[in-house]
Amino acid sequence: MPPQAPQAPSPYGQPQQPQFGQVPGQAAPPAAPFGQQAPAPYGQPAPSPYGQQPPGSMPPGVPQGVPAAGAGLQAALQPYKETATGQRWTPQNQQLMRVDLTMGGAGVLARQGSMVMYQGKVDFGYKGAGFVGRAVGNATGQEMQLMRCTGRGQVFLAEEGSYLHPIELQGDGICVSAENVLAFDESLQYEVRRVEGHGIPGGALFTMLFQGSGTVVVKTHGTPVVLPVTPTTFADCNAVVAWSAASQVIVSSQVRLRRNAYPGHSGETVNLQFRGAPGNFIVVQPYEV
């Protein structure tokens, strides 16, 4: 290591200028013996010995921002931990719903096969032979089987990555397409309604009318949109998810070229026209069969 050049003397009558990092009025630190490092200036950390990493620094080749070993696993899993809000229905994310059966007292009716996990003492009883199962089965070709969840514990519900939306009713009502019903409180009053029309697969569109106090969980493909009902409100029968119970539904057929039209298919699609007083609404998903 070549010796440092001596500092140039100050002009006559002016004080000696302090070195970089030296407090004015303080004597300069003595030079280190040959082969040793000089002490660090005041307020600066001491340099690390040759070949050693500074304290707290990452080894060479490790990208900046990588958590230290030992704390990385907990930090990575923290955003996905269970969310408990003290309520009966709690979304864990957009595609997973948690229902706490210890709250509310009544059981829950859910689509069979939608349970992905449960905790506690939970009993599952299958309910698929009733009118709801037969009616929806006639419309879709598959029987809609409901399972009854009772006991004391938490049940997690999901289905094929669909977006889940809890709708709480407080004495009002809503019509939901049977294909979009995932689960609901057993305390709700519900009945099946038929929307008949030429061109509808199966001859009719089956919906479920929910009334009373409780929560119904609706599943959609993507994020839905809520639109007010006007005299010129139309929706594709496969895209509509739900509508207000006071809305009037009329089947309207139009001829247009469908994306999945096949030889011999007329290309006719069935639209639903909605009518009602101000305050009525429909819910439509960004999806079409």
pLDDT at 76 over 60: yes
124, 149 in Cβ contact below 8 A?
yes
Could you tell me the two tokens for 272?
Answer: 């639903």
CATH of the domain at 181: 3.60.160.10
- Taking only the tens place, the pLDDT of each residue in 133-142 is 444 544 444 4
Per DSSP, the three-state class of 185 is strand
Is 139 contained in some domain?
yes
Element (H, E) at 264: none
Is 97 domain-assigned? yes
Confidence at 105, pLDDT banded by 50, 70, 90: confident
State the residue range of the domain holding 219. Answer: 86-284
How much is the average pLDDT of 249-273? 62
Given a contact cutoff of 8 angstroms between Cβ atoms, the answer to whether 129 and 96 are in contact is: no
- pLDDT higher than threshold 60 for residue 208: yes
pLDDT of 95 over the 70 cut: yes
Across 139-151, average pLDDT = 73
Compute the distance between CA of residue 217 and CA of residue 227 in angstroms, rounded to an integer. Answer: 19
Q: Are 280 and 249 in contact (CB under 8 A)?
A: no
Mean pLDDT highest for which of 2-11, 80-89, 127-136, 262-271?
A: 80-89
The predicted model gives 176-198 an average pLDDT of 89
3-state SS, residue 178: helix
User: Taking the CB of residue 234, how many other CB atoms lie within 10 A of it?
Assistant: 14
pLDDT at 243 over 50: yes
d(CA 256, CA 259): 10
Q: Is residue 76 part of a domain?
A: no
The total domain count for the chain is 1
Q: Is residue 68 part of a domain?
A: no
Pick from 217, 214, 212, 247: nearest CA to 229: 247
- Higher confidence at residue 281 or residue 51? 281
Q: How far apart are CA 135 and CA 133, in angstroms?
A: 6
Tell me the two tokens of residue 136.
């929806």
Residue 179 lies in a domain: yes
Predicted local confidence at residue 139, as pLDDT: 46
**Residue 66 pLDDT greater than 70, yes or no:** no
Mean pLDDT to the nearest integer, 26-37: 61
Assigned domain for 31 exists: no
Sign of the dihedral through C-alpha 146, 218, 168, 210: negative
The whole-chain average pLDDT of the chain stands at 78
Strands (E) located in 158-198: 163-177, 181-185, 189-196
Whether 33 is in a domain gets the answer no
Beta bridge partners of 233: 274
Does the model's pTM come out above 0.75?
Answer: no
Residue 247 lies in a domain: yes
Taken as a whole, the chain contains a residue count of 289
